[in-house]
Amino acid sequence: MKRISLRGLTLVRSAVTLAVAALLSVLVTVPASAADPVGSITGLAGKCVDVAAASNANGTPVQLYDCNGSGAQQWTVAGDGTLRALGKCLDITERGTANGSTVQLWDCGGGANQKWVVSAANDIVNPAADKCLDVTGNTSANGARLQIWTCTGAPNQKWNAPRGGSTPPSNPGSFIVSEAQFNQMFPSRNSFYSYSGLVAALGAYPGFAKTGSDTVKRQEAAAFLANVNHETGGLVHVVEQNTANYPHYCDPNQSYGCPAGQAAYYGRGPIQLSWNFNYKAAGDSLGIDLLNNPWLVQNDSSVAWKTGLWYWNTQSGPGTMTPHNAMVNGAGFGQTIRSINGSLECDGRNPAQVQSRINAYQRFVQILGTTPGNNLSC
């Protein structure tokens, strides 16, 4: 969709994000905090993730076993992304990323093979391998070795782990993103962009974030919110900030003209809807007269969210597919960028803005407890 977004602000935000990422990349693993949640991790048949023989020697296998309350079954979900027992970390043997790579106990070293995300869907994911903690052989027998495997959503990959306050389970009957997760994504958001407004808008597009596997659902939600984050400066701006552009969004060649006024069709809402023809098309689709009353998009939170979802689910813009189809059919996050603003950003035109969107997406999938998938850039 052709429009002007917050270019200068985005470039600054991108530079800050990259600088922070560079700093974080050199930090070592920090000790677990007393505030980190601690407890047993249960799986198949209610059995516990257990360190064999309660040994804290490097290389000790991690297995499934009857729960007994011992220290070998007490895991700390540390703030640095590690899972710890007996003073050491859950570790993928030989830094493996292939299906069947076993897990063990090892000194905490900060490697990617010791990083885990406990998801709202009760998966435990290693983002580096893009795989889930899994019980070998899908058996609940004592001593069954744990491994990593492609995430399938099967019972032998489901775990009940201790949880902190920042990532509670999402409501399965509502949006796959919980309100707490939404607030974590947008800590400085404008109150106009309410979670309740977003949830109220979801009924207009029931396939959104409810198509495919749990991983795909979370990836689509994260992808939509990451692009929205970029367009609005973190859900801060409701309307386009450059007022000099306002008169430019009236296409007089349309038979219906611009009944709300020459300067009435500027960017509004989470996807920065602009141009008279887009207000007309979105309004017709949603059953709302946005051509004559475009101000609804900046005055009604649910209407604003609906316009964003309209574009996401029905428009391909300068791309070849809708952003929704890009995510549910495996084309990847990069194709959502192309469909939203590819004519100005993709194919090397503005890599900093592309990276800004990617950075937000990677952060959001981590909050949602899943992995980003492939083809992140355009």
- Tell me the sheet residues that pair with 117: 125
> Could you give the CA distance from residue 77 to residue 164 in angstroms, rounded to a whole number?
8
Cβ(41)–Cβ(161) under 8 Å?
A: yes
Q: Is the pLDDT of residue 244 over 90?
A: yes
pTM assigned to the model = 0.57
77-81, 121-125, 244-248, 300-304: which has the minimum mean pLDDT? 121-125
What is the mean predicted confidence (pLDDT) over 6-23? Answer: 35
**Average predicted confidence (pLDDT) for the chain:** 86
- HEC profile of 268-282: ECCCCECCHHHHHHH
Query: How does residue 5 score in pLDDT terms, banded at 50, 70 and 90?
Result: very low
The encoded tokens of residue 246 equal 């306002």
Q: What's the pLDDT at 226?
A: 98
Phi/psi for 85 (5° steps) reads: -145, 145
Question: Is the predicted pLDDT of residue 29 greater than 60, yes or no?
Answer: no
CA distances from 307 to 43, 177, 317 (A): 41, 19, 14
Q: Return contacts of 354-357, CB within 8 angstroms, 24+ apart.
A: 354/378, 355/14, 355/18, 356/10, 356/11, 356/13, 356/14, 356/17, 356/230, 357/226, 357/227, 357/229, 357/230, 357/333
| Phi, psi of 118, deg, nearest 5 | -90, 110
Contact status, residue 134 vs residue 122, Cβ threshold 8 Å:
no
Helix or strand holding residue 126 (H, E): strand 124-126
Whether 206 contacts 160, CB under 8 Å = no
Q: How many CB atoms lie within 10 A of CB 196?
A: 11
Separation of alpha carbons 236 and 169, rounded Å: 26
CA nearest neighbour of 117 among 171, 181, 21: 181
Centroid of chain to Cα 234: 14
Could you give the CA distance from residue 295 to residue 47 in angstroms, rounded to a whole number? 56
264 versus 161: which is more confidently predicted? Answer: 264
**Measured distance CA(249)–CA(258) in Å, rounded:** 9
Strand partners, 257: none
Domain ranges, ordered by start, for the chain: 1-36+165-378, 38-157
CA-angle at 221, arms to 352 and 265, nearest 5°: 65
Would you say how long the chain is, in residues? 378
Q: What residue type is 63 in one-letter code?
A: Q
The residue type found at 62 is: V
Q: Band of the pLDDT at 6, cuts 50, 70, 90?
A: very low
Under 8 Å between Cβ of 219 and 373 = yes
Lowest-pLDDT range of 125-129, 282-286, 360-364: 125-129
CB neighbours of residue 376 within 10 Å: 18
Of 205, 214, 212, 207, which Cα lies nearest the Cα of 305?
205
Ranking 35-39, 97-101, 162-166, 297-301 by mean pLDDT, the lowest is 162-166
pLDDT at 48 exceeding the cut of 80: yes
Active site residues: 231
- How far, in whole angstroms, is CA 50 from its chain's centroid? 30
Predicted pLDDT at 11: 31
The domain 1-36+165-378 is placed in CATH, from the list 1.10.530.10, 3.40.390.10, 3.30.70.20, 3.40.50.970, at 1.10.530.10
More confident residue, 244 or 14: 244
Copy the structure tokens of residue 52. Answer: 């064999």
pLDDT band at 31 (very low <50, low <70, confident <90, very high): low
As to burial, measured by CB atoms within 10 angstroms (0-12 exposed, 13-18 middle, 19+ buried), residue 27 is: exposed
Q: Which position has the higher pLDDT, 242 or 13?
A: 242
d(CA 265, CA 118): 43
- pLDDT category at 335 given cuts 50, 70, 90 is very high
pLDDT tops 50 at residue 286: yes
- The percent of residues in the chain predicted with pLDDT above 70, rounded, is 87
pLDDT value for 35: 62
Q: What pLDDT is stored for residue 121 in this prediction? A: 65
Sorting pLDDT into bands at 50, 70 and 90, what band is 91?
A: very high
Given this model, what pLDDT does residue 317 score?
Answer: 92
Burial class of residue 165 (count of CB atoms within 10 Å of its CB; 0-12, 13-18, 19+): exposed
Q: What is the DSSP letter of 227?
A: H
Looking at per-residue pLDDT, the higher value among 157 and 27 belongs to 157
Give just the sign of the alpha carbon dihedral 82, 27, 167, 152.
negative
For the domain with range 38-157, which CATH number is right: 3.90.1150.180, 2.80.10.50, 3.30.70.2700, 3.10.129.10?
Answer: 2.80.10.50
Q: Residue 375 in contact with residue 334, Cβ under 8 Å?
A: yes
Q: What is the tens place of the pLDDT at every residue in 146-205?
A: 999 988 778 898 888 886 543 333 343 478 999 999 999 999 999 999 998 999 899 888
